[in-house]
Structure 1
Amino acid sequence: MRQLVKFQMFLERFLVNMTDDVQVCFVKEIDHIGIAVNDLESAINLYVDLFGAILEIDNEVVDQGVRIAMLKFRSGTRLELMQPLNNEGTVARFLNKRGNALHHCCFAVENLEETLSKASNSNIDLIDHAPRQGVDGQIAFIHPKATGGILVELVQR
Protein backbone atom coordinates (compact mmCIF):
# COMPACT_ATOMS: atom_id res chain seq x y z
CA MET A 1 0.00 0.00 0.00
CA ARG A 2 2.85 2.36 0.86
CA GLN A 3 4.29 1.78 -2.63
CA LEU A 4 1.00 2.82 -4.25
CA VAL A 5 0.85 5.99 -2.16
CA LYS A 6 4.41 6.88 -3.21
CA PHE A 7 3.52 6.19 -6.86
CA GLN A 8 0.46 8.42 -6.56
CA MET A 9 2.65 11.18 -5.12
CA PHE A 10 5.00 10.77 -8.09
CA LEU A 11 2.10 11.00 -10.53
CA GLU A 12 0.82 14.15 -8.88
CA ARG A 13 4.29 15.70 -8.73
CA PHE A 14 5.77 14.71 -12.08
CA LEU A 15 3.01 13.83 -14.49
CA VAL A 16 0.46 16.40 -13.40
CA ASN A 17 2.56 19.41 -12.40
CA MET A 18 5.57 20.39 -10.37
CA THR A 19 4.15 23.74 -9.27
CA ASP A 20 0.96 25.55 -10.07
CA ASP A 21 2.53 27.01 -13.21
CA VAL A 22 5.07 24.49 -14.50
CA GLN A 23 3.96 21.25 -16.07
CA VAL A 24 6.83 18.81 -16.37
CA CYS A 25 5.20 16.26 -18.62
CA PHE A 26 1.95 15.95 -20.49
CA VAL A 27 0.99 12.30 -20.54
CA LYS A 28 -1.21 11.47 -23.50
CA GLU A 29 -2.19 8.04 -22.22
CA ILE A 30 -0.95 4.84 -20.68
CA ASP A 31 0.78 3.29 -23.68
CA HIS A 32 1.20 -0.20 -22.24
CA ILE A 33 1.92 -2.31 -19.20
CA GLY A 34 5.08 -4.46 -19.25
CA ILE A 35 5.24 -7.96 -17.78
CA ALA A 36 8.45 -9.97 -17.42
CA VAL A 37 8.02 -13.67 -18.24
CA ASN A 38 10.24 -16.74 -18.33
CA ASP A 39 8.34 -18.40 -21.20
CA LEU A 40 7.24 -15.92 -23.85
CA GLU A 41 5.47 -18.45 -26.09
CA SER A 42 3.28 -19.70 -23.24
CA ALA A 43 2.49 -16.15 -22.16
CA ILE A 44 1.57 -15.12 -25.72
CA ASN A 45 -0.69 -18.15 -26.07
CA LEU A 46 -2.40 -17.39 -22.76
CA TYR A 47 -3.28 -13.81 -23.67
CA VAL A 48 -4.24 -14.64 -27.27
CA ASP A 49 -6.29 -17.76 -26.50
CA LEU A 50 -7.89 -16.72 -23.21
CA PHE A 51 -8.32 -12.97 -23.67
CA GLY A 52 -8.44 -12.55 -27.46
CA ALA A 53 -5.34 -10.37 -27.71
CA ILE A 54 -3.72 -9.80 -31.09
CA LEU A 55 0.05 -10.16 -31.45
CA GLU A 56 1.32 -6.86 -32.94
CA ILE A 57 5.08 -7.21 -32.47
CA ASP A 58 7.38 -10.15 -31.74
CA ASN A 59 10.95 -8.93 -31.85
CA GLU A 60 14.32 -9.09 -30.15
CA VAL A 61 15.91 -5.97 -28.70
CA VAL A 62 19.46 -7.28 -28.51
CA ASP A 63 21.00 -4.25 -26.78
CA GLN A 64 18.45 -4.65 -23.96
CA GLY A 65 18.82 -8.43 -23.90
CA VAL A 66 15.12 -9.20 -24.36
CA ARG A 67 12.61 -10.66 -26.75
CA ILE A 68 9.44 -8.62 -26.70
CA ALA A 69 5.90 -9.42 -27.71
CA MET A 70 3.45 -6.52 -27.90
CA LEU A 71 -0.17 -7.59 -27.63
CA LYS A 72 -3.24 -5.47 -28.30
CA PHE A 73 -6.71 -6.05 -26.96
CA ARG A 74 -9.99 -5.04 -28.63
CA SER A 75 -10.24 -2.06 -26.28
CA GLY A 76 -6.91 -0.75 -27.61
CA THR A 77 -5.09 -1.62 -24.39
CA ARG A 78 -1.57 -2.90 -25.03
CA LEU A 79 0.49 -5.37 -23.06
CA GLU A 80 4.23 -5.89 -23.49
CA LEU A 81 5.61 -9.32 -22.59
CA MET A 82 9.39 -9.51 -22.10
CA GLN A 83 11.60 -12.59 -21.95
CA PRO A 84 15.36 -12.29 -21.40
CA LEU A 85 17.62 -13.57 -24.16
CA ASN A 86 20.15 -14.80 -21.59
CA ASN A 87 20.77 -14.86 -17.83
CA GLU A 88 22.18 -11.32 -17.79
CA GLY A 89 20.51 -7.94 -17.97
CA THR A 90 17.86 -6.16 -16.00
CA VAL A 91 14.89 -8.30 -17.04
CA ALA A 92 16.78 -11.52 -16.22
CA ARG A 93 17.71 -10.15 -12.79
CA PHE A 94 14.13 -9.01 -12.25
CA LEU A 95 12.80 -12.50 -13.06
CA ASN A 96 15.36 -14.14 -10.76
CA LYS A 97 14.16 -11.95 -7.89
CA ARG A 98 10.42 -11.79 -8.54
CA GLY A 99 9.47 -14.43 -11.10
CA ASN A 100 6.84 -13.64 -13.72
CA ALA A 101 5.47 -10.27 -12.65
CA LEU A 102 4.45 -6.76 -13.58
CA HIS A 103 7.65 -5.00 -14.65
CA HIS A 104 6.74 -1.44 -15.67
CA CYS A 105 4.08 1.05 -16.67
CA CYS A 106 4.64 3.03 -19.87
CA PHE A 107 3.24 6.50 -20.51
CA ALA A 108 3.07 8.08 -23.97
CA VAL A 109 4.43 11.64 -24.21
CA GLU A 110 4.61 14.05 -27.12
CA ASN A 111 8.21 15.18 -26.81
CA LEU A 112 10.48 12.73 -25.01
CA GLU A 113 13.66 14.85 -25.09
CA GLU A 114 11.84 17.84 -23.61
CA THR A 115 10.21 15.65 -20.96
CA LEU A 116 13.56 14.18 -19.93
CA SER A 117 15.16 17.63 -19.80
CA LYS A 118 12.37 19.00 -17.59
CA ALA A 119 12.49 15.91 -15.37
CA SER A 120 16.25 16.20 -14.96
CA ASN A 121 15.97 19.92 -14.16
CA SER A 122 13.33 19.00 -11.56
CA ASN A 123 15.72 16.51 -9.92
CA ILE A 124 13.72 13.44 -10.96
CA ASP A 125 15.98 10.35 -10.88
CA LEU A 126 16.30 9.08 -14.45
CA ILE A 127 17.75 5.85 -15.76
CA ASP A 128 17.96 7.32 -19.27
CA HIS A 129 18.91 10.98 -19.69
CA ALA A 130 18.43 10.73 -23.46
CA PRO A 131 15.96 8.75 -25.56
CA ARG A 132 17.00 5.34 -26.84
CA GLN A 133 15.45 3.06 -29.40
CA GLY A 134 12.89 0.58 -28.08
CA VAL A 135 10.96 -2.07 -29.95
CA ASP A 136 8.21 0.41 -30.85
CA GLY A 137 9.77 3.88 -30.81
CA GLN A 138 12.00 6.16 -28.74
CA ILE A 139 11.88 5.33 -25.02
CA ALA A 140 13.41 6.29 -21.67
CA PHE A 141 13.01 5.05 -18.11
CA ILE A 142 12.50 6.88 -14.83
CA HIS A 143 14.21 5.29 -11.83
CA PRO A 144 11.85 3.52 -9.41
CA LYS A 145 13.36 5.58 -6.56
CA ALA A 146 11.57 8.59 -8.02
CA THR A 147 8.22 6.87 -8.45
CA GLY A 148 7.59 5.06 -5.21
CA GLY A 149 9.14 1.83 -6.43
CA ILE A 150 7.37 1.57 -9.82
CA LEU A 151 9.53 1.43 -12.95
CA VAL A 152 8.11 4.01 -15.36
CA GLU A 153 8.84 3.97 -19.08
CA LEU A 154 8.16 6.95 -21.33
CA VAL A 155 7.61 6.55 -25.07
CA GLN A 156 7.32 9.30 -27.65
CA ARG A 157 4.03 9.19 -29.57
Structure 2
Amino acid sequence: MVNTLAHLAIVVSNIDNAKSFFELLSGNQATEPHLVESQKVNTSFVTIGSTNIELLEPYGTDTPISKFIANRGGGIHHICIESDEFDNMIKNITDTGVRTLGEPSIGAKGKRIIFFHPKDTFNVLVELEEA
Protein backbone atom coordinates (compact mmCIF):
# COMPACT_ATOMS: atom_id res chain seq x y z
CA MET A 1 0.00 0.00 0.00
CA VAL A 2 1.29 3.43 -0.96
CA ASN A 3 -0.32 6.56 0.46
CA THR A 4 0.92 10.05 -0.37
CA LEU A 5 -0.16 13.61 0.24
CA ALA A 6 -1.95 14.45 -3.02
CA HIS A 7 -2.81 18.08 -2.28
CA LEU A 8 -3.81 20.76 0.18
CA ALA A 9 -7.04 22.54 -0.79
CA ILE A 10 -7.64 26.26 -0.26
CA VAL A 11 -11.05 27.90 -0.73
CA VAL A 12 -10.93 31.25 -2.52
CA SER A 13 -13.58 33.70 -3.66
CA ASN A 14 -11.72 34.63 -6.86
CA ILE A 15 -9.77 31.82 -8.48
CA ASP A 16 -8.03 34.07 -11.02
CA ASN A 17 -6.60 36.35 -8.32
CA ALA A 18 -5.56 33.38 -6.19
CA LYS A 19 -4.03 31.64 -9.20
CA SER A 20 -1.91 34.72 -9.97
CA PHE A 21 -0.72 34.95 -6.37
CA PHE A 22 0.24 31.28 -6.08
CA GLU A 23 1.98 31.37 -9.47
CA LEU A 24 4.07 34.30 -8.23
CA LEU A 25 4.71 32.58 -4.89
CA SER A 26 5.67 29.22 -6.41
CA GLY A 27 7.34 30.33 -9.63
CA ASN A 28 5.19 27.72 -11.38
CA GLN A 29 2.27 27.91 -13.79
CA ALA A 30 -1.11 26.91 -12.33
CA THR A 31 -3.55 24.84 -14.33
CA GLU A 32 -6.39 26.65 -16.04
CA PRO A 33 -9.53 26.72 -13.88
CA HIS A 34 -11.69 23.66 -14.47
CA LEU A 35 -15.35 23.22 -13.51
CA VAL A 36 -16.12 20.08 -11.52
CA GLU A 37 -19.90 20.05 -11.77
CA SER A 38 -20.38 17.12 -9.36
CA GLN A 39 -18.60 19.10 -6.62
CA LYS A 40 -19.95 22.52 -7.72
CA VAL A 41 -16.48 24.09 -7.78
CA ASN A 42 -13.95 25.57 -10.15
CA THR A 43 -10.49 24.17 -9.45
CA SER A 44 -6.93 25.03 -10.35
CA PHE A 45 -3.74 23.28 -9.23
CA VAL A 46 -0.28 24.72 -8.66
CA THR A 47 2.80 22.90 -7.42
CA ILE A 48 5.05 24.34 -4.72
CA GLY A 49 8.08 22.10 -4.27
CA SER A 50 6.66 18.60 -4.14
CA THR A 51 3.26 19.70 -2.82
CA ASN A 52 0.19 20.37 -4.94
CA ILE A 53 -2.13 23.18 -3.91
CA GLU A 54 -5.74 22.95 -5.10
CA LEU A 55 -7.59 26.25 -5.35
CA LEU A 56 -11.36 25.89 -4.92
CA GLU A 57 -13.82 28.56 -6.04
CA PRO A 58 -17.55 27.99 -5.51
CA TYR A 59 -19.72 27.43 -8.56
CA GLY A 60 -23.12 28.66 -7.46
CA THR A 61 -24.45 30.31 -4.34
CA ASP A 62 -25.87 27.39 -2.36
CA THR A 63 -22.91 25.01 -2.26
CA PRO A 64 -20.68 23.69 0.51
CA ILE A 65 -17.80 25.86 -0.76
CA SER A 66 -19.91 29.04 -0.97
CA LYS A 67 -21.10 28.35 2.59
CA PHE A 68 -17.47 27.87 3.67
CA ILE A 69 -16.68 31.35 2.30
CA ALA A 70 -19.76 32.85 3.96
CA ASN A 71 -18.83 31.33 7.32
CA ARG A 72 -15.04 31.57 7.24
CA GLY A 73 -14.09 33.88 4.40
CA GLY A 74 -12.07 31.16 2.68
CA GLY A 75 -8.83 29.48 3.69
CA ILE A 76 -7.52 25.96 4.11
CA HIS A 77 -10.34 23.52 3.41
CA HIS A 78 -8.96 19.97 3.40
CA ILE A 79 -6.02 17.67 2.89
CA CYS A 80 -6.11 14.93 0.29
CA ILE A 81 -4.36 11.60 0.64
CA GLU A 82 -3.89 9.47 -2.48
CA SER A 83 -4.02 5.69 -2.01
CA ASP A 84 -3.39 2.79 -4.34
CA GLU A 85 -5.76 0.72 -2.17
CA PHE A 86 -8.73 3.10 -2.21
CA ASP A 87 -11.49 0.61 -1.35
CA ASN A 88 -9.45 -1.15 1.35
CA MET A 89 -8.53 2.20 2.94
CA ILE A 90 -12.19 3.23 3.11
CA LYS A 91 -13.06 -0.06 4.80
CA ASN A 92 -10.11 0.08 7.20
CA ILE A 93 -10.89 3.65 8.21
CA THR A 94 -14.66 3.24 8.55
CA ASP A 95 -14.14 0.02 10.55
CA THR A 96 -12.59 2.24 13.25
CA GLY A 97 -15.82 4.26 13.49
CA VAL A 98 -14.86 7.16 11.23
CA ARG A 99 -17.85 8.34 9.18
CA THR A 100 -17.78 9.29 5.52
CA LEU A 101 -19.50 12.29 3.99
CA GLY A 102 -21.47 10.43 1.34
CA GLU A 103 -20.34 7.83 -1.16
CA PRO A 104 -17.30 7.85 -3.45
CA SER A 105 -17.62 10.26 -6.38
CA ILE A 106 -15.41 11.55 -9.18
CA GLY A 107 -13.11 14.43 -8.22
CA ALA A 108 -11.25 17.18 -10.08
CA LYS A 109 -8.61 14.80 -11.47
CA GLY A 110 -11.19 12.32 -12.77
CA LYS A 111 -10.39 9.86 -9.97
CA ARG A 112 -12.65 8.43 -7.27
CA ILE A 113 -12.69 10.41 -4.04
CA ILE A 114 -14.42 10.28 -0.69
CA PHE A 115 -14.39 12.62 2.32
CA PHE A 116 -14.26 11.61 5.98
CA HIS A 117 -16.23 13.51 8.62
CA PRO A 118 -13.98 16.09 10.31
CA LYS A 119 -15.54 15.40 13.71
CA ASP A 120 -14.00 11.94 13.44
CA THR A 121 -10.64 13.08 12.00
CA PHE A 122 -9.44 15.59 14.60
CA ASN A 123 -11.34 18.53 13.06
CA VAL A 124 -9.54 18.17 9.73
CA LEU A 125 -11.56 17.46 6.59
CA VAL A 126 -9.73 14.54 4.95
CA GLU A 127 -10.24 13.52 1.34
CA LEU A 128 -9.11 10.11 0.10
CA GLU A 129 -8.30 9.92 -3.61
CA GLU A 130 -7.77 6.80 -5.70
CA ALA A 131 -4.25 6.54 -7.14
| Same fold per superposition (TM over 0.5) | yes
| Shift, 1:56, TM fit | 3.4
Counterpart of 1:53 (choices 18, 28, 40) is 28
* CA offsets 1:30-67 (integer angstroms, 9 cap, x no match): 11100000000000000112321322353101121100
C-alpha separation in 1, matches of 2:100 and 2:26: 34
1:42 aligns with 2:17: yes
Q: How many positions carry a matched residue from both structures?
A: 130
What does residue 47 of structure 2 align with? 72
Distance 1:88 1:143, change over 3 A: same
| Shift, 1:123, TM fit | 1.3
Which structure has the highest helix share of the two?
1
- 1:7-22 alignment, distance < 5 Å: none
Q: Assess if the C-alpha contact under 8 Å between 2:106 and 2:113 holds in 1.
A: yes
Q: Assess if the C-alpha contact under 8 Å between 1:140 and 1:153 holds in 2.
A: yes
Query: In terms of Rg, which structure is larger?
Result: 1
* CA offsets 1:2-56 (integer angstroms, 9 cap, x no match): xxxxxxxxxxxxxxxxxxxxxxxx5622111000000000000001123213223
Matched residue of 1:122: which SS?
Answer: coil
What does residue 37 of structure 2 align with? 62
* CA offsets 1:84-135 (integer angstroms, 9 cap, x no match): 011111111111000121000111111211111222222111113x421001
Matched residue of 1:64: which SS?
Answer: coil
Q: Assess if the C-alpha contact under 8 Å between 1:27 and 1:107 holds in 2.
A: no
What does residue 120 of structure 1 align with? 94
Letter in 2 for 1:144: P
| RMSD over equivalenced CA pairs, Å | 1.5
Compute the TM-score of the two structures, normalised by the length of structure 1.
Answer: 0.77
Distance 1:126 1:133, change over 3 A: same
Q: Which runs of 5+ in 2 are unaligned?
A: none
What does residue 104 of structure 2 align with? 131
C-alpha separation in 2, matches of 1:64 and 1:53: 26
What does residue 3 of structure 1 align with? none
Distance 1:120 1:78, change over 3 A: same
Compute the TM-score of the two structures, normalised by the length of structure 2.
Answer: 0.91
Identity %: 25
Counterpart of 1:144 (choices 118, 123, 130) is 118
